[in-house]
Amino acid sequence: MVNTRYGLVQYELLSSGFRASLSLLLGIIKEIEARSLGVAAEEFAGIIIIDELDLHLHPVWQKNIPLALQGTFPNAQIIVTSHSPHMIQSAKSDQVIALVNFNGGFPRVSDLPHSDYGFQGWTIEEILEDVMGMEDTDSEIKKELFRSFEEALDDEDIARLRSSLHAIEHMLHPRNNMRKLVRIQAAPVLGADK
């Protein structure tokens, strides 16, 4: 049984992310206490290395697990690898070292901007592109729709513009500001005909 904020829950009934996180923490504590000559985990001042910390974790857990590790092992230096923009977003700027492949060769350390807020003000898309080196975060169909929209706008092709605009508005998230922007761009061509 595990005492959660919802009360006692059988271990087997916990989410896989919760079980993975709990197993990770308990495994580290066990190793520290077994190898450190009686040093309690919270007093451990060594190095903890974890590969792919984000593996199999829900994005909420990806954001929270680094804080749980830091709180559980406050004196340890914790080094993790991750492919999670959510973990980067919650980190301080001096806690992230991004490795990028340069011209298909050996990885090198990427120059990242530093701020007092780390990457907490960055969107997931900005992190994927500017920190993790992803060249494009848009789907092919989205790019094709926007190309079609731009061409119809340039050609003042009202039928095609209306069709592209309709598709874009239905494809984008309901709160995406690009929906307003494409309507504004199309307005001079569509005029009152929209």
Q: Which fold has domain 2-131?
A: Rossmann fold (3.40.50)
| Ranges of each domain in the chain | 2-131, 140-193
What is the pLDDT, as a whole number, of residue 98? 85
* Spatial separation of the C-alpha atoms in residues 25 and 157, rounded to whole Å: 60
What one-character-per-residue DSSP string does 109-148 give? EPP----TTTTTTS-HHHIIIIIS--S--S-HHHHHHHHH
What is the pLDDT, as a whole number, of residue 193? 56
pLDDT tens-place values along the chain, 194 residues long: 888 888 898 888 888 878 888 888 889 999 888 887 778 888 999 999 999 998 878 888 888 888 889 999 999 999 999 999 999 998 887 888 888 776 777 888 888 877 888 888 999 999 998 888 888 889 999 999 999 999 999 999 999 999 999 999 999 999 999 999 999 999 999 885 54
What is the pLDDT, as a whole number, of residue 155? 93
> In this predicted model, what pLDDT tens digit does every residue of 131-180 receive, in sequence order?
888 888 899 999 999 999 999 999 999 999 999 999 999 999 999 999 99
Contact call for residues 107 and 100 (beta carbons, < 8 A): yes
What is the pLDDT, as a whole number, of residue 192? 54
* Spatial separation of the C-alpha atoms in residues 186 and 149, rounded to whole Å: 9
Task: Output the six-digit token pair for 168.
Answer: 């874009």
Helix axes 16-35, 59-72, angle to 10 degrees: 20
pTM: 0.73
